[in-house]
Amino acid sequence: MEYKSLSKLIVLIIFLGLLQGYIFAQDIQLPLKADSIACDTFPPPRWLDGYTSNYIHHLWWLKPEIDAITPINLLGYKLYLNGDSIDQILFFGEDTSHYFDTIDFWFPPGFIEYHVSALYEQSPCGLPGAIEESSLEGPLGIYGYPEAFIMTFIEDWNTGSFDPNLWIADEYWYVNGPYGHPYPCATYSNFPDSAYRQSLISYWINTTSNPISGTQY
């Protein structure tokens, strides 16, 4: 009887030990759930969107998730413009990330595409120093350039300068006040360049549609 009781006690102790080890293991795994670390799959950011105002493209997107959980090894984002990487943005825990892209004043009109990807640090996956990149979210397409001049554009040179309407004038061009029909006018002095190789270039003019009817050309 004593041996049987001792055997039962040993079995009970082993069972309790295994149970405690199982609970301990479960407690360790809770903050490190497999679906909260991006090791095998790398979810991209979500819902890239934005708008343009005063030569600035304001972009935003939502952080990536795996089963509604943000991967704990999300390092940041990589932003692309027309297929070229233009910047990397660190992730600080915000639900939404923002980016302001200032467009060069002479950036040509056309169809502009933005994409964004997520970057994941791989130390929690056993690869210290390695970084993996997700697929791209996007595109966010922006057509045209809101600050381009709208047809019909008229230049009468009454300002006496090329600057107000953003002309690019080579050095032999000037606004000639006393001449023109009607005056003033833009005049080219061909000395010393008699080959007329100096340019006078206007700013971008939006010619995509009829300015009165709105009909696309």
What would the pLDDT profile of 53-92 be if each residue is shown by its tens digit? 656 788 999 999 988 899 999 999 999 999 999 999 999 8
Quote the CA–CA distance of 154 and 162 in Å, as a whole number. Answer: 13
Residue 93: the pLDDT is 83
Distances (CA, A) of 40 to 65, 67, 117, 158: 14, 14, 16, 66
| DSSP label of 209 | B
Average confidence score pLDDT of the chain = 76
Tokens of 53: 């105002």
Q: Which amino acid is at 42?
A: F
CATH level 3 topology of 35-143: Immunoglobulin-like (2.60.40)
In this predicted structure, what is the pLDDT of residue 16? 42
Q: Per this entry, what is the length of the chain?
A: 217
pLDDT digits over 114-165, tens only? 999 999 999 999 999 999 999 999 998 876 555 566 666 778 888 888 887 7
- Count of other CB atoms within 10 angstroms of residue 58: 14
pLDDT at 54: 59
- Residue 119 or 175, more confident: 119
pTM above 0.75, yes or no: no
